[in-house]
Amino acid sequence: MSEPRQHTVLELRYLRTEFGSRERPLIAVDDVSFSVKAGEILGLVGESGSGKSITLRSILGIVRPRGRVGGEILWKGRDLAALDEAALRKVRGREIAMIFQEPMSSLNPLLTVGLQISENLATHTDLDARARKTKAVELLEMVGIPAARNRLGDYPHEFSGGMRQRVMIAIALASNPQLLLADEPTTALDVTIQDQILRLIQSLSRDLGMAVILVTHDMGVVAQTCDRVAVMYGGRLCELGTTTQVIGDARHPYALGLLRSIPRDVAPRTPLYSIPGAPPSLSALPPGCAFTARCPVAGLECGDVRPPLAAVGQHHQVACHRRAEALAHFRQHEAAS
Amino acid sequence: MNMLTMEPAKPLLSIRDLTMRFEKPRSLSDAIARRPRQVVSALNGVDLDVMAAETLGIVGESGCGKSTLARCIAGLHQPSGGDILFEGESVVGLKGPKRRAYNKRVQMMFQDPYTSLNPRMTVRDTLREAISVHRMREGAAIERRIDELLDLVRLPEGAADKYPHEFSGGQRQRIGIARALSLEPICLVADELVSALDVSVQAQVVNLLLELQDNLGLTVLFVAHDLRLVRHVSHRVAVIYLGAIVEVGPSEALFSRPRHPYSQALLAAAPSLDPADRKRAPALSGELPSPLDIPPGCPFHVRCPHAAERCRIEKPALRPVGAGMAACHFAETISAV
Ligand SMILES: Nc1ncnc2c1ncn2[C@@H]1O[C@H](COP(=O)(O)OP(=O)(O)OP(=O)(O)O)[C@@H](O)[C@H]1O
Ligand SMILES: Nc1ncnc2c1ncn2[C@@H]1O[C@H](COP(=O)(O)OP(=O)(O)OP(=O)(O)O)[C@@H](O)[C@H]1O
Ligand code: SF4
Ligand code: SF4
Ligand SMILES: [Mg+2]
Ligand SMILES: [Mg+2]
């Protein structure tokens, strides 16, 4: 768990990323603020399309050319949002590395896996060709690719989905980054290899002080890996707290609904709970709470007044006007089921 | 023919001793050193029956051959050996109209709805193309069928004239399902269909699959890493290790009492939802075996905590154990931990 003496390395202040025209913008990330300490693993969860990947991409300045990033991205005190492309490139891949969500679209299909790792090592380290090859084998073994030496000559399509994902992880970890942005790094992995990769990330974080933002849909992964969790909905943060607080004692109606959708203690092949309604269009969000249209306890003020993140306990913050009603509503359902 | 008789259910699909080897081109250095051509043995004698109208879950380590098996069944790979019987007839090497007829009845659905839909076609165009190319309907009946399909997968009214980017991930997944269903298949092969979606949207898609199966009597092969979901949707589950089935049986029996040591390790590695319950020891240790070089005897012996001398020499056959089948010499004496 994070200790007080550890220092904040990344701080987002009112991060806002939009697409489309300035007159009618599509706001993918809307005033998101949070910080991450050295050696800390922050989980980022939320609905498909809620802005998790765009948040990570904004940190590295790779939503350009068409996305507009506003707010401050303080990396060890320096505002990345104010840096030009040349200065950002020095930070990217070296100090801050990212594991992208779709391995197939970030690997070059025409180059062998070995060559792609080696090229990356050439950009970010001083190793010579021979040392790079040795290091590439080491990295692949570290992420659990058997007989790695014999597979350097394989093309991405000759790897399984999970093997490609592990190549991306190996490339990201090659430069010993101080901040790892991991966008669903284990979705294509079975639980035993997932376990191995998460242990690897945890030990790098614990032993070398690497800070991590881990985007995932798997609440089990969050429970087992993260120190704190942030929940996003409609481009905004709706809940932030320690893992125990968010998983065991969620307060925001969206977070409560999400947790209820996990199949546990339900009879096989019976319908699962899912949050009713469809996600909001990002270009037509209400001025108030983004969850209004789907919220079971929405009140009159919800559509007009935006709920601020407010403390509900030490480290625990929730953006909702009607927290007491929300708790009562979901408790009642739990009791009924 | 066998519609109204009370004879025991016949398998819809029978997979017999299926093998799939990918030969790698010989590299120059291999040629100089006179090393033999390398071969990836992705499937090593898979035997499996899939009953009509059942959901068969398929789980296993990343790279163990799940997608390869799915692709062989869907006719996207020509297997190297063995046979696939569909309603009793071999479908390996089918050509011409027979191949097309089979491919229509057995539909594969891929994980990534983003890349499998044409971004420049509306949902109506996509469905119309599928329906008319395969001559499922003619003239005005095509449009009626499109409405029916959208209704079936519960897409909102007006969805037909929208483009893929205007939908959420879960809705796009439904478009993919509607397209697969437009060909009136009797068997769906779902390879990691829901792993990229948040749990609430996952629940929606799973509910839809269950409902369609009950209404249309579809047979579903459900390949996934999320063991909670697999347990929820499957009637039976097959566990694959290094390209062979090591255990298969009724879902509840397999999950509550796995017989094969690999199944046991797999289930033990599923991340718990309780942050207080963090595991100390890794689920599996030992060197990962490679499909380039399958170990002799039991393929799991290098990592198996119960391995004995016999395991290094004699390959265990898949045989009845408990309510299902397992390939382990000591399945009866090894108790689930
Ligand atoms: N280049 C772009 N132009 C316009 N809209 C975009 C662009 N990239 C992303 N978006 C939109 O921004 C929103 C946030 O996308 P993002 O990829 O961050 O979602 P996410 O939370 O990562 O979802 P998932 O869990 O499905 O990966 C989505 O509605 C998406 O459609
Ligand atoms: N076209 C191909 N050429 C060469 N090797 C291949 C090809 N397709 C798959 N393989 C190899 O076959 C093995 C099994 O791959 P497969 O994609 O079936 O695994 P999987 O069980 O689906 O894994 P995952 O869970 O990671 O998706 C892997 O070692 C992979 O590298
Ligand atoms: S109660 Fe109001 S503020 Fe709270 S989540 Fe529901 S709509 Fe939003
Ligand atoms: S046959 Fe032997 S090595 Fe294989 S799973 Fe059983 S006990 Fe383990
Ligand atoms: Mg994303
Ligand atoms: Mg696969």
CB contact under 8 A, B279 and A243: no
Average pLDDT, chain A: 91
> Quick one: pLDDT at residue B335?
64
Which whole-number Å values give the CA distances from B96 to B71, B85, B100, B106, B134, in the listed order? Answer: 19, 18, 6, 16, 13
Residue of A254, A306, A320 with the most ligand 3 atoms within 8 Å of its CB, for mutation: A320
pLDDT of B337 reads: 47
As for the ipTM of the complex, it is 0.90
Question: Distance (Å, rounded) from C-alpha B274 to C-alpha A134?
Answer: 40
User: Which domains occur in chain B, in start order?
Assistant: 11-27+50-234 (3.40.50.300), 260-269+284-337 (no CATH)
Tell whether the model's pLDDT for residue A80 goes beyond 60: yes
Q: Which of A161, A166, A273 sits opposite B203 (nearest CB)?
A: A273
* Burial class of residue A236 in the structure, from the number of CB atoms within 10 Å of its CB (0-12 exposed, 13-18 middle, 19+ buried): buried
Residues of A in contact with B231 (CB under 8 A): 263, 268
**Chain B within 8 Å of A115 (Cβ-Cβ)?**
no
CA of residue B66 to ligand 6 center, whole Å: 6
Output the pLDDT for position B135.
85
State the pLDDT confidence band at A30, using cuts at 50, 70 and 90.
very high
Residue A295: nearest ligand to its CA? 3
| Predicted pLDDT at B29 | 66
Q: What pLDDT, on the 0 to 100 scale, is given for residue A209?
A: 95
In this predicted model, what pLDDT tens digit does every residue of A239-267 receive, in sequence order?
Answer: 999 999 999 999 999 999 999 999 888 89
Distance from CA of B41 to the nearest CA of A (A): 12
Q: Is the CB of A50 under 6 A from ligand 1?
A: yes
Ramachandran quadrant class, A234 (left: phi over 0; alpha: psi -120 to 50; beta: rest)? left
Short-list A24, A102, A14, CA closest to A58: A14
Q: B290: number of CA atoms within 13 Å, CB side?
A: 16
Please tell me if residue A151 touches chain B, with a CB cutoff of 8 Å: yes
Pocket test for ligand 3, best of A295, A317, A327 (most atoms within 8 A of CB): A295
What local confidence, expressed as pLDDT, does residue B28 receive?
67
What is the number of the ligand 1 atom nearest to the C-alpha of A20?
Answer: 4
CB hemisphere CA count around B30 (13 angstroms):
12
Among the ranges given (A327-336, B61-70, B102-111, B226-235), the one the predictor scored with the smallest mean pLDDT: A327-336
**In Å, how far from its chain's centre is CA A309?**
19
What are the structural domains of chain A? 8-95+177-265+273-336 (3.40.50.300), 105-176 (no CATH)
Nearest-Å Rg of the Cα atoms of chain B is: 22
The per-residue pLDDT for A277 is: 84
Asked if the model's pLDDT at residue A279 lies above 60, the reply is yes
Task: Please tell me whether residue B14 adopts helix, strand or coil conformation.
Answer: strand
Q: How far apart are CA A217 and CA B226, in angstroms?
A: 11
Q: Is the pLDDT of residue A210 over 90?
A: yes
Please report the sign of the dihedral spanned by the C-alpha atoms of residue B92, residue B97, residue B101, residue B107.
Answer: positive
Contact A262 B22 (CB under 8 A): no
Best mutation site among A321, A323, A329 for ligand 3, i.e. most ligand atoms within 8 A of its Cβ?
A321
pLDDT in tens, A154-188: 999 899 888 999 999 999 998 899 999 999 999 88
Note whether A247 contacts B275, CB cutoff 8 Å: yes
Residue range B87-135, pLDDT digits in tens: 999 999 899 999 999 999 999 887 765 677 888 999 999 999 999 988 8
A143: Cβ–Cβ under 8 A, 6 or more apart, which residues? A166, A167, A169, A170, A173, A197, A200
- Ligand 2 atom 8 nearest Cα: A158
Q: What's the average model confidence in pLDDT over B240-246?
A: 96
What distance in Å separates the CA atoms of residue B57 and residue B235, rounded to the nearest whole number?
8
Range scoring the smallest mean pLDDT among A292-296, B43-47, B171-175, B213-217: B171-175
**CB of A316 within 8 Å of any CB in chain B?**
no
Tokens of A31: 């005033």
B196, B200, B273 member nearest A223 (Cβ): B273
Confidence check: pLDDT of B1 > 70: no
pLDDT of residue A18: 93
Going by alpha carbons, the residue nearest to atom 6 of ligand 4 is B328
Burial label for B24, CB within 10 Å (0-12, 13-18, 19+), is middle
Nearest 5°: phi and psi at B211? -65, -45
pLDDT in the model for residue A67: 86
Find the B302 Cα to ligand 4 centroid distance in Å: 9
Q: Do residue B271 and residue A190 have CB atoms under 8 angstroms apart?
A: no
B177 C-alpha to center of ligand 1: Å? 22
Q: What is the pLDDT of residues A213-243, one digit of tens each?
A: 999 999 999 999 999 999 999 999 999 999 9
Residue-wise DSSP of A203-225: HHHHHH--EEEEE-S-HHHHHHH
Between B174 and B1, the higher pLDDT residue? B174
Helices marked H in B164-308: 169-182, 199-216, 227-233, 251-256, 261-269
Nearest to B200 among A163, A196, A257 (CB): A257
Question: Does A272 sit within 8 Å of B207, measured CB to CB?
Answer: yes
- A11: confidence class by pLDDT, cuts 50, 70, 90: very high
DSSP designation for A38:
T
Tens-digit pLDDT profile for residues B248-304: 999 999 999 999 999 999 999 999 999 998 877 777 777 677 888 888 999 999 999
Say how far residue A35 (Cα) sits from the centre of its chain. 13
User: In angstroms, rounded to a whole number, what is the distance separating the alpha carbons of residues B194 and B77?
Assistant: 23
**Tens digits of residue pLDDT in A51-70:** 999 999 999 998 866 789 99
Torsion of CA A33, A35, A40, A41, to 10 degrees: 10
Ligand 6 centroid to residue A136 C-alpha, Å: 23
Ligand 5 geometric centre to CA of A50 (Å)? 8
Please tell me the predicted confidence (pLDDT) of residue B114: 63
Q: How far is the centre of ligand 5, averaged over its atoms, from the C-alpha of B301 (Å)? A: 39
Query: Is ligand 2 within 6 A of the CB of residue B44?
Result: no
| Mutation for testing the A interface, residue in B30, B62, B233 having most A CBs under 10 Å | B62
Q: What is the mean pLDDT of chain B?
A: 89
| Most confident stretch, A44-53, A83-92, A302-311, B136-145 | A302-311
pLDDT tens-place string over residues B33-81 = 677 778 899 999 999 999 999 999 999 999 999 999 999 999 999 999 9
Q: Any bridge partners for residue A34, and if so which?
A: A12
| pLDDT value at residue B7 | 52
